[in-house]
Homo-oligomer: A and B are copies of this chain.
Amino acid sequence: MTMQDLGQHARAAARQLARATTDQKNVALATLANRLTADRAEILAANAQDIAEAQAGGLAPARLDRLTLNEARLAGIAADLRNVVALPDPVGETFDATTLPNGLAIRKQRVPIGVIGVIYEARPNVTLDVAGLALKTGNAVILRGGSETLNSNRVLVAVIRRVLADSGLPPDAVQFVDDADRARVTELLALDEYVDMIIPRGGAGLHKFCREHSRIPVITGGIGICHLFVDESADLDAALNVIHNAKTQRPTVCNALDTALVHRAVAAEFLPRLVQRLSAEGVTFRADPVAVSIFHPLPSTVMPAGPDDFDTEWLSLVLGLKVVDHLDEAIAHIAAHSTGHSDGILTCDDAHAARFIAEVDSAAVYVNASTRFTDGGQFGLGAEVAISTQRLHARGPMGLRELTTYKWVVIGAGHVRP
């Protein structure tokens, strides 16, 4: 099948799936969860083949781990799918309903977006995760996973399509790009006739590639250079805990802290405590000249920041340190260096908190809390499709609702426009 064919089939299936009832979709999701156990032998055999090929190819251990499935992981994915069953179906919800002075009854009604293209790396769990969320919201998907997981994804997609068929839903609603050639990605990005939205799930390079080549709206995100500013008035014990959490609780993810900005008035007291506490956890630091000058002698974990260090998403136990003279300098630094993901202030000054909220324009702006909360589950959305750092459609954690759009429904009684 050409990419054009995939698109056409997905579009036709999307029209059908949009009319599926919540019950139909939930039955299919629950069946899929059960199938992961029933069909585990077939799934794990395909995955073992991927693992063997990846090992032979010398794939890094961390990536090898991400592409590995086992019974426990399949059970976890099945539990996630059952969780999606339990979430409310946004499709069909009406809002902004009103009756105009001329008697026209007007409302907005949520509908699926249509066809969503998802481009991701070698993580077979994403195949099930995305297919489940798309199914719940009545969207067709075209899946383009990493080449290292081709065998796993081929089997997983076959399982999903069988479940759809058995549930009376169109199997074509889940399309799979069964071809490792990168040219297929470029072709997918040009299918604006059939695809309504592209979600890249991967690093900055993939996001940039999609933005540059796509004729379809792209949800970019997941890249976080995150800041916390320790204001003059901060509760320093609390600030220490929050920074410790934001940096070390899970350093490899996008909402982990990258740079701590510290007000000059508290820097001499706070920075040594911070370095001592976090060094014990294996954190190393990149400090600006003023921060460096505070230490006598310089601890072994602290080194002067290089020219790009404040523009780096660390994704590891490294933390930038910078001393600022006032709130304005902190806000200006964030405006210049943040990726607009998650930035916060630690302060006991309400006026400073209010200014920070008003002037820092990131997807999530925090006062006295860890940036690690930027997450669909933590924000109460029940599920997370992506974390958007672009500005249209949705910002920050995207849940099921953000996989829908709306149409206007207008009911008259022979109304004509004067």
Interface residues of A (CB under 8 A from B): 15, 18-19, 98, 100, 104, 106, 109, 111, 113-114, 192, 196-197, 211-212, 215, 217-218, 235, 238-239, 241-242, 244-246, 249, 335, 344, 353, 357-359, 361-370, 372-374, 378-380, 390-393, 395-397, 405-417
Contacts and interface: CB of A to CB of B under 8 A. Distances in A.
Nearest to A12: B335
A241 B412 CA distance: 13
Contacts of A242: 414-416
A22 to B, nearest CB: 13
A106 B415 contact: no
A396 B368 contact: no
A241 B414 contact: yes
B211 A369 contact: no
B368 A411 contact: yes
Contacts of A245: 416-417
Contact of A357 (B18, B196, B357, B409): B409
B405 A392 contact: yes
Nearest to A111: B361
Contact of A407 (B19, B100, B365, B368): B365
Max chain B CB contacts within 10 Å: which of A344, A393, A407? A407
Given A15-B335, A393-B393, A369 B406 contact: no
A208 B141 CA distance: 24
A89 to B, nearest CB: 14
Contact of A396 (B197, B239, B408): B408
A250 to B, nearest CB: 8
Contacts of A391: 113-114, 196-197, 405
Contact of A408 (B100, B364, B408, B415): B364
Contacts of A366: 410-412
Given A100-B378, A369-B416, 10 more contacts: A217-B217, A217-B218, A217-B392, A357-B409, A364-B407, A365-B408, A366-B410, A367-B410, A368-B411, A395-B408
A417 B373 contact: yes
B368 A415 contact: yes
Which of the listed residues A246, A367, A374, A412 has the most CB atoms from chain B within 10 Å of its own CB? Answer: A412
A401 to B, nearest CB: 10
A368 B408 contact: no
Contacts of A344: 410
Contacts of A413: 238, 368-369
A380 B105 CA distance: 12
Contacts of A19: 358-359
A267 B367 CA distance: 66
A31 B387 CA distance: 41
Contacts of A111: 361
Given A368-B413, A392-B113, A414-B238, A380 B197 contact: no
